Amino acid sequence: MAPSIVSLKTIKEMAKKDIEQLSRRIEFLEMQIKELKTVDPGVVNEKLKSLEDAIYTTKEILNMKDVCQYLDISKSLLYKLTCSGEIPHFKPRGKMIFFEKKELIAWIKRNKVNDQELSNLSVNMESIESSKDEEAVKEEQH
């Protein structure tokens, strides 16, 4: 009878140790969950955005969506630029449209507006505005 009592004591001690170990594991998991809950979604979104930006800097060939984001233009404007041949692009098999990043940068640099053009544009805009103001004054007088 003595061996069964000893083994019962041993079993109780082992069970107690197992319960203590499980209790510590549960506490650890609870702390991990609390840390996950404190993660700010804004921080996560910011990290994702920086990863997306990093992807654009490493890609050499861009698709329509990439180029729209890269140039900050609408898809319809990009289609117009490709149809008119104004922007360099590739159309393998006549389906998808692709762009080489180097060529896009060169295209942007070729389309630089110089100071004289800006000055002329500004003068034209001012004359248009002043003629609109004159027309408005004439209409008010009648």
**pLDDT computed for residue 86 by the predictor:** 92
Which alpha helices (H) appear in 38-114, and where do they start and end? 41-58, 64-71, 75-83, 101-110
Task: Grade residue 116 by pLDDT with cuts at 50, 70 and 90.
Answer: low
pLDDT at 1 over 50: no
Higher pLDDT, residue 25 or 95: 25
Q: Is the pLDDT at 122 greater than 70, yes or no?
A: no
d(CA 117, CA 105): 21
Domain boundaries defined on the chain: 2-38, 60-111, 115-142
CA distance 87 to 110: 11
pTM attached to this predicted model: 0.46
Share of the chain above pLDDT 70, in %: 75
Q: State pLDDT tens for residues 60-103.
A: 999 999 899 889 999 999 999 999 999 999 998 888 999 999 99
Element (H, E) at 92: none
